[in-house]
A and B are shown apart, each in its own frame.
Chain A
Amino acid sequence: MTTSAVRFLLNNDVVTIENIDPNLTVLQYLREERFNSGTKEGCSSGDCGACTVVIAELGKDSQTLNYKSINACISFVGSLHGKQLITVEHLKQGAKLHHVQQSMVDNHGSQCGFCTPGFVMSSFALHKHNNKPNREEVLEALAGNLCRCTGYRSIIDAAIASSEHCEADSFAQHYNQTVQQLNDFKGLPSAKLSNTRHCYFAPKSTAELAEKLLSNPQAILVAGATDLALSVTQNLAIIEDLVYLGDVTELQTLENSAEEFIIGSAVPYSDFTPMLHEEYHELGEMIERIGSRQIRNNGTLGGNIGNASPIGDMPPALIALDAHMTLQRGNEERKIAVEDYFVDYKKTVLKASEFIKNIYIPKSKPDQVLKVYKISKRIDDDISAVLAAFNIELKDNIVTNVRIAFGGMAGIPMRAKQCEAALLNKTFDSESVTAAQQALTQDFQPMSDVRASDKYRMKVAQNLIQKCYLELQSKNIETRVVNYA
């Protein structure tokens, strides 16, 4: 193998690619280079799921495989290094359909058929980990796949019914062999890819990464690519120098200490969510509505903070929790509050050659409650109009500590300090709530855009304070349509 190559399994075949433009997406690679047209292009922006493929990766134990659905349209081809890529073409064995495929046929789950390969792959990934999924689990796994024809009922039935015909598929039969092959890949050097003009590099350590960034401060960092890839597919940007963080060992760590969680910046949502969900239930629930399963399988916490969206979903929650983060440049490391990271619209304190290393999230205290609200037009896979996070400590109904942060209310995710002041050390009652609602107009002047008007954003933000209050007053009433069964 030359030093400038990416090696992976395409279905069961070892493939080495070199001299390919690293701006190429996995979807383009499959369709244009491999002539595998089963994987469809619906939007090229990670929103429709027609391009869903499955990645198999080695688990931490190096003996098990994790199957993850991803959007091929917004994954760069270099990120395949060391993994197995499974496409819809590989599910059918001879004339026999895979059981998730057969179930789609039996339940009349396809009409025009264009979204179908994507649904099949999402369902396949689900069944690899859960061969008896219930309705809720199916919805969670398929929320990133849009169908315009069926109305979904038949697809839900198909995904649930697949388990009735579950049998060992070719992937199960090749399991040990695949594990061995992926272990063999571990010995490969760091992935590099370049054509004459653009290059891609996947360092394996923070030292390697830091060095690369010092020597090349213009390089663009990419983790899950769920946002960055859109600049290529939608805005036709060309990234000259791409540095992939997914192979950096130190950025993949997950620590659960007595006081805090420490999450490596390149850990995908899917991997850190269970841990957080246990500690902060509402945060976990909210994360399950960030993007889709495909997005959460690739998207990372570092990326969510790093791209400095005004909404972000995670940053408001992290700010409310007073999370911190470490930034590294060369050998130097500094720790800052997540709150202090954001300066202005898409402007942060990150210096040239610096990267986000770890995120530190404190654990909950006895009197502390975290309330998180994600308001969007659609429940699944939608960018929030407003994201609100309330971190409140109550003693005898007195607010002894409070941090409130919003996304979508300003150019950056930020705290509502006047609002906090109106509540701090006050009895938590309708009077202080009204004062807090009033104070919110001093904290924010939201804008109107395609998602919501300025007036709606302010009104909802104020009403969420009320909702938070009502939920803390009487824990037994149902207050959210999202949770209503």
Chain B
Amino acid sequence: MRSLINTKHSNENINNELASVGQGGVGRSKKHESADKHVSGEALYIDDRPSLRGQLHAAAGQSTIAHGLIKSIDLSAVKAAEGVVAVITVEDVPGHTDIGPVFPGDPVLAIGKVDYIGQPIFAVAATSHDLARRAVKLAKIEYEALPAVLTVKDALAKQSFVRPPFTMKRGDSATAIEQATHQLSGEISVGGQEHFYLEGQVSTAEPTEDGGMTVFSSSQHPSEVQKLVAEVLDIPLNKVIVDTRRMGGGFGGKETQAAPWACLAALLSNVTKRPVKFKLSRSDDMCMTGKRHPFENNYHVGFDSDGQIKGINIEVNGNCGYSPDLSDAIVDRAMFHSDNAYFLDQATVTGNRCKLNTVSHTAYRGFGGPQGMMTIEMVMDDIARHLGKDPLEIRKINLYGKDDRNVTHYHQTVEHNKMAELISSLEQSSDYQARRASISQFNIENTLLKKGIALTPVKFGISFTVQHLNQAGALVHIYTDGTIHLNHGGTEMGQGLYTKVAQIVAEEFQVDVDTVGVSATRTDKVPNTSPTAASSGTDLNGKAAQAAAKTIKARLIEFACEKYNVNQAEVSFKESHVIVGQDKFSFAEFVQQAYMGRVSLSSTGFYKTPKIHFDRATGKGRPFFYYSTGAAVSEVLIDTLTGEYKLLRVDILHDVGHSLNPAIDIGQIEGAFIQGMGWLTTEELVWNEQGRLLSNNPATYKIPAISDTPSDFRVDLVPDDPNREQTIYNSKAVGEPPFMLGISVWSALKDAISSVSDYKLSPDLDTPATPERVLWAVEAMKDNA
């Protein structure tokens, strides 16, 4: 395996790589396949598609109370409203009325009862987007209100769960905690997160001539949209085609949450026999679709005088909203990641799936992992302050070992563990110790502004924990001019999946990547696909596309051997040519020969992840094929009078194995870090006492803006470190893991706050750590100092 990258500094590296753009193959910083179309406005998103003849626009009437029975629905004014062509309720659904993705519980339209404010009760098709939105406001709906569960505390007290609790256990944690030299307890409230994909949820449904439906959906999971549309219409799956060319961002928010709007568009299209577009307005999107689960977690830990954990009990309580959706797997992943990078020795991790009367919370980059990691990172800081040590020292002493202390609380052995080296390398390159010293000095000299620094690691398990999802298919055609067409089951949401998979196919044939065309992900091209989620897009679809390419390549080699009477070793693919013995043909020329020789130039490919298994009954197994790792150092400045803060510098060292595309990987790392930082700092979801979301627009919900990016932002890839598992070109998944590097910002804020107590106290800092929460934490330091 040749060395693909040796990154020194992100910017230089990418610019140096530019020279090689266009030559194809893996390991190069090839630009995003749609980059030219993005910048020119030519890239088409679903709302940009030309309107079809007779196209209608949908909107949904929403519940205005958090929990209650529907006593009556009067839609006469809605039906009479300007532009309205059709109005449907659940009575008008010919097939399934429940569109729960894994477990039932998500009615496509309310069935006699509402469970959250914003729940769709009826839907309208009208001649324009605004007329549809106006019309739905005219409904008269009477409810009989029922008591609403609106806090995790209340849900726990009432044992209100969407799925049963689950515990993972290794050893006897209670005894270990008791016998340890020191004990500490703590709790933390971890806020949720709105996805805020720039392109909101949108689907267009067009009736087909055979009673079916073609659906254009901004979805990370076209196969599920296909299945649910077929089910609500009560038609076979082979009559529904779902097409997803690209999304304007997904982040998990279009895994299950894209389906309701596709289903409603299809239902309205079915009634009217006209194309129907359902585009959610931003505020509807924010009120009606699920978010990252808020969690309320607590811990009880026992540790020795060095700060090494001897035993720990962790409880994670996910606010799942009103229905199961994906919450079982999400809370599982929070539990799986309650260790982050640390050996917990004796550990008991319990997860509760709390049912509340809010929108059903859903997948979001990290899928519960980030919320799980927050607890153990809090533990690290708390132990450090208790013992008067630098939190980095505590983090290092608790890392998983290489040959011992290397089994997780779910009994998977952590292999190929180089976290200690990674942290050590980052500690050096970021100049951590010298900066720590100068920050201490700064904090002595400044009473008003305080600085903080923190280094936090990430170890993130790669694979869907639901085993059957770890499969993928692809379809590769070669045409007679030598150009290649590629489809696979993964969806493009900006992460560069199409680019990377095209590079993989180009690499297989040693042709210019620009000769590999990719078109929309479609359920009639590659069937029965998994969602593009769990960071798995390239791992799964890259391997499947490679398999398809290898099949065709084998046929071409066989053809060459027969035609030119050579053995296989004499056939090679190089620089857009095929070399056969002493002859050299251009790739196109050779493909034409193969066509004339009646060789099939099209193939599917398939892949399933090896080695993985997990027995939920015993809580034991190997749920993850491998781990992705990284670490970040963040330095912040806080204002002790206002709680305002600024991120001054960030250093990241992240392991992507052999990078398929350094520019795309660095883009993923930077973007994930900033998104993770936003989750923990300014992005505050506020619900009122009636269960209504108040932060339902970008004026009140603040994702990071351009100045929030630190002026000193250094991102490096771990050089020359191939994945020891046989992943595609020994790369590692990159979508989610760097999200959790943002935890370093939160920990740095706590470091700055702790300085107010001369580092004697460990501040409680629930998230998001808004300026308000930072100020109160500072005040608590003053009060207790």
- Chain A residues in contact with chain B, CB under 8 A? 31, 35-45, 47-48, 50, 87-89, 91-92, 97, 101-102, 104-117, 120, 135, 138-139, 142-143, 145-157, 234, 236, 373, 375-383, 385, 449-453, 456, 459-460, 463-464, 466-467, 470, 477-482, 484-485
Contact = CB atoms under 8 A, between A and B. Distances in A.
Given A39-B41, A89-B41, A150-B671, A105 B31 contact: yes
Interface string B636-680: 011101111110100000000000000110110011111100000
Given A111-B496, A115-B198, A470-B448, A105 B36 contact: yes
Contact of B45 (A40, A101, A145): A40
A154 B706 CA distance: 11
B40 A40 contact: no
A484 B648 contact: yes
17 contacts: A31-B47, A39-B41, A42-B282, A43-B697, A87-B41, A88-B41, A107-B14, A111-B496, A111-B671, A112-B197, A112-B199, A145-B706, A146-B196, A146-B705, A236-B137, A378-B708, A464-B641
User: Looking at chain A's contact residues, is the secondary structure mostly helix, strand, loop, or mixed?
Assistant: loop
A480 B199 CA distance: 35
Interface residues of B, number: 94
A234 to B, nearest CB: 7
A290 to B, nearest CB: 13
Contacts of A48: 198, 698
B548 interface: no
A445 B486 CA distance: 64
Nearest to B772: A456
A478 B38 CA distance: 42
Contact of A37 (B41, B646, B707): B41
Nearest to B249: A112
Nearest to A106: B18
Contacts of B698: 43, 45, 47-48, 146
Contacts of A44: 281-282
A114 B248 contact: yes
B172 interface: no
Nearest to A142: B706
Given A111-B671, A113-B43, A481 B711 contact: no
B674 A152 contact: yes
B300 interface: no
A92 B43 CA distance: 13
B198 A112 contact: yes
A450 B686 contact: yes
Contacts of A373: 642
B703 interface: yes
B674 A113 contact: no
B257 to A, nearest CB: 15
B720 to A, nearest CB: 22
B682 interface: yes
B771 interface: yes
A126 B32 CA distance: 25
B670 A153 contact: yes
Contacts of B697: 43, 45, 47, 234
B428 interface: no
Contact of B664 (A37, A108, A148): A108
Contacts of B711: 135, 485
A329 B664 CA distance: 60
Given A377-B682, A459-B779, A470-B448, 13 more contacts: A31-B47, A40-B198, A43-B697, A45-B697, A114-B197, A151-B667, A152-B674, A153-B709, A378-B682, A379-B705, A460-B775, A467-B641, A481-B638
Contact of A151 (B675, B700, B771): B675
Interface in B616-642: 637-639, 641-642
Nearest to B687: A450
A105 B198 contact: no
Given A113-B246, A135-B711, A456-B775, A481 B639 contact: yes
Nearest to A100: B39
